[in-house]
Copies of this chain bind each other. A is one copy, B any other.
Amino acid sequence: MAKAIKSIAVLTSGGDAPGMNAAIRAVVRTSIFYEKRVFGVRRGYDGLIEGDMEELNTKSVKNILNLGGTFLKSARSEEFRTDEGQQKAYEQLQKHEIDALVVIGGNGTFTGAHRFYEKFGVPVVGIPGTIDNDLFGTDYTLGFDTATNTVVDCIDKIRDTASSHNRLFFVEVMGRDAGFIAMNTAVATGALDVILPEENKTFDDLFGEIERGASRRKTSNIVVVAEGNKLGNSFEIAEKVKAHFPQLDTKVTILGHLQRGGAPSCFDRVTASKLGLAAVEGLLNGRADVMVGIVDSELTYTFLQQAVMNKAQLDPEMLRISKILAI
């Protein structure tokens, strides 16, 4: 089947992440290197359904390596979850004589891709692109490295400030379902505490950490809050902490979407280049219905269904390190 591939389409879907452009560039240039035609689809599966795509050449992806976001735009498509949507998408591929698909995104992206493969047999390879780093089958997802650098840079700036007694900063970071960003940036900034979606921390636990921290240090302290945690959003948490420690001056920063932007780090660009190339070579070698990833420094291909059914787990060692070093 692989021999038949003459034309490949690439799209980005879901929340965007730094490094997606670098991955698109790698897909495009590798395709052209192997003398395949390559199409860029705009706005994820919605664009596929609507046929919003055009053929790309090496120049189309010039000077995008260093840009955050994705020049193909990204979207979450409701329509692609329906049979009608998938049918329309398939017809567009046929109309444009496209034989294979590279999709860059996360769990939702791969769920749709797997269903599409099952229905129509179109070879599809996924590239893990999400700042959350929560995908099974790869040690890194595109954007995570950049996002953690962005968060660390922000927390460093917050740490510079006042250092008057009794000040406590809550910094809310992304991570609805997974605390990787929160965990790593907490270790990297020496945070007093971190509140993760994966834990069942209570307010008493938090109060305890704050008391222990206050007894050791006199200056400003940081608590990193993953948005998907179970204690509430950071304003709510700050309010309860303030009610319990009235002498504390609590401050809240919500980083929001700035974590999704910025020029990708060297690591994210290199990884994107490797994965983009491997996605195309995988397709040309007959791979389909898989996500390409890097595990223990090796390129690996994981079946999409496996990738979406499992979840990357927080390394418990990181929690241990965090506690010992915040001593």
A interface residues, Cβ below 8 angstroms from B: 15-16, 18, 22, 25-26, 29-30, 32-33, 43, 58-59, 62-63, 65-69, 73-76, 139, 145, 148-165, 169, 184-185, 187-190, 216-217, 219, 251-263, 265-267, 269-270, 273-274, 277, 296-297, 317-318, 321, 324-325, 327
Identical subunits present: 4
Residues of the B chain whose Cβ atoms lie less than 8 Å from the Cβ of A297 = 139, 296
Task: Please classify the interface of chain A as helix (H, G, I), strand (E, B), loop, or mixed, using the class held by over half of its residues.
Answer: helix
B158 x A324 contact (CB < 8 A): no
Residues of the B chain whose Cβ atoms lie less than 8 Å from the Cβ of A43 = 164
B150 x A149 contact (CB < 8 A): no
Chain B residue at smallest Cβ distance from A151:
B266
B159 x A261 contact (CB < 8 A): yes
Residues of the B chain whose Cβ atoms lie less than 8 Å from the Cβ of A216 = 58
A154 x B258 contact (CB < 8 A): yes
Q: How far is the CA of A317 from the CA of B169 in the complex (A)?
A: 37
Chain B residue at smallest Cβ distance from A169:
B257
Residues of the B chain whose Cβ atoms lie less than 8 Å from the Cβ of A15 = 162
Q: How far is the CA of A267 from the CA of B318 in the complex (A)?
A: 13
Contact (A26, B157) CB under 8 Å given A62-B217, A189-B66: no
Q: How far is the CA of A152 from the CA of B18 in the complex (A)?
A: 14
**Least CB distance, A15 to chain B, in whole angstroms:** 7
B251 x A253 contact (CB < 8 A): no
